[in-house]
Chain A
């Protein structure tokens, strides 16, 4: 198979294992491309992509923009902070206006869960979900699982603990779907207040003790505390969170095995991860960033090849 089964990438929940495998395979070849002296290929030279970000983002937008430019696409960037959305324009009107300028693909981040799904029902362009509220962040899950695959050679049977703020994390949900589809075992770990009530129904283990989670897992995917998505206090203080759920070198040294540490960034240093872990040989955080560009190149390239 050399074509994705879907025209959009809205989430991991509804894509097939075969689609994910094709994305991995294509990402491998793009990783090779971005490590050459000339990091650019002409594949998408006749395509225009709009990055429509209704929510602040630095690394995801940068990663998408770099992926698009390395595929030779024309890129337009839109952020809601300096746009007509502030004047009361609807999402559909905003995107339709962008599409009237002959845009072929839309990469969208929105604070409302389901916003890209809504858009996909009303417009013709390919849509890539770059994060919708607390719902999904499919390309992050694809790059995370690709990074684990690269490090461990397989996803089958690999034990992954997702540690931290699961409740407010779209990364956690997409990662759970992707890891389960590809045969990994998943555990979530965090304070009770940051674990959604439905979480065990997704077929994951639940653990409140971070040391037990570390002892169980091969990979610890540590999430950032999403302070900007919390209207109320879910724990007494950052210091207390750090004491109970922060990971430091001493904890890793107590384990009888070497585990891989991941983090989608940006890291709250000293809160969820200490610098002696984030900068250690255990961490593959910068590999995740590099793989992010390759995986996003693969997604955009493959979606552009889907015939209507």
Chain B
């Protein structure tokens, strides 16, 4: 199968703008809400959304990064262990609304680990999940997103490649696992 572009830079910006509007409708001025980007790739999307929200709302919004490495359920089951990333949660999440952000939702296991990791920082009032790409019909756990950039139907043999790090050349691809 050919490498297929799901979202190009232009479409990605429109998608992020729409997601931000949805977030503002649900969370108002974000005074009761914090954003948590999931390491490693969810943090780039979280940065983009955070920047856009602060510009639109003209207010400071709490942004943190959450690493789930030590909370995963596949440690010692993978060929290569996952490398740990930094967790930065410089605010209290106790009794606050949290929007958890990741680039791709696939099996739901990373989100399960993230919920576990987040509890180490307190008990939030409500947690919602925002993903850029929702891979449908692939869930191993009963986890569904509240805010979705794009729904994609994929095969097990395919993967979604997210290129967000560059900033100017953001692209989301659907590729076969063999292709790099």
Residue of B nearest to A1 (CB): B83
Structural contact, B79 and A33, CB atoms closer than 8 A: no
Contact A43 B70 (CB under 8 A): yes
- Count of CB-CB pairs between chains A and B under 8 Å: 49
Contacts of A305 in B (CB 8 A): 75-76, 81
Q: State whether A37 and B86 are in contact (beta carbons under 8 Å apart), knowing that A3-B81, A42-B70 are contacts in the complex.
A: no
- The answer for the CA separation of A43 and B120 in the assembled complex, in Å, is 14
Whether a CB of chain A sits under 8 angstroms from the CB of B85 is yes
- Taking CB atoms, residues of chain A closer than 8 Å to B121 are 36-38
**A interface residues, tally (CB under 8 Å):** 22
Majority DSSP secondary structure for residues of A touching B: loop
Complex: how many Å from CA A32 to CA B81? 20
Docked pose: A2 CA to B76 CA in angstroms: 12
What separation, in Å, do the CA atoms of A1 and B79 have in the docked complex? 12
B83 lies within 8 A of A2 (CB)? yes
Other-chain contact of A37, B69, B70, B87, B122 (Cβ < 8 Å): B122
Known contacts A37-B120, A42-B71, A43-B70, A3 near B80 by CB under 8 Å: yes
A93 in the interface (beta carbon within 8 A): no
State whether B84 touches A29 (Cβ < 8 A).
Answer: yes
Q: Are A36's CB and B70's CB within 8 A?
A: no
Q: What's the Cα separation between A247 and B84 when bound, in Å? A: 40
CB of B121, distance to nearest CB on chain A (Å): 7
Query: Does A271 sit within 8 A of B, measured CB to CB?
Result: no
Inter-chain CA distance A43–B68, complex, in Å, is: 10
B82 CB–A CB distance under 8 Å: yes
Output the residue of B75, B79, B81, B84 with the most chain A CB within 10 A: B84
A25 B84 Cβ-Cβ under 8 A: yes
Which residue in chain A gives the minimum CB-CB distance to B69?
A: A29
Kindly provide the distance from the CB of A67 to the nearest chain B CB, expressed in whole angstroms: 13
A278 on the B face (CB < 8 A): no
Q: Contact: A38 with B84, CB < 8 Å?
A: no
| Those of B116-152 within 8 Å (CB) of chain A | 116, 119-122
Say yes or no: is B67 at the interface (Cβ < 8 Å to chain A): yes
Residues of A within 8 A of B84 (CB): 25-26, 29
**167-217 of chain A: CB within 8 A of chain B:** none
The reply to whether B75 and A29 contact each other, CB–CB distance below 8 Å, is no
The interface of chain A, by Cβ under 8 A from chain B, is: 2-3, 25-26, 28-29, 32-33, 36-38, 40-43, 46, 71, 301-302, 304-305, 307
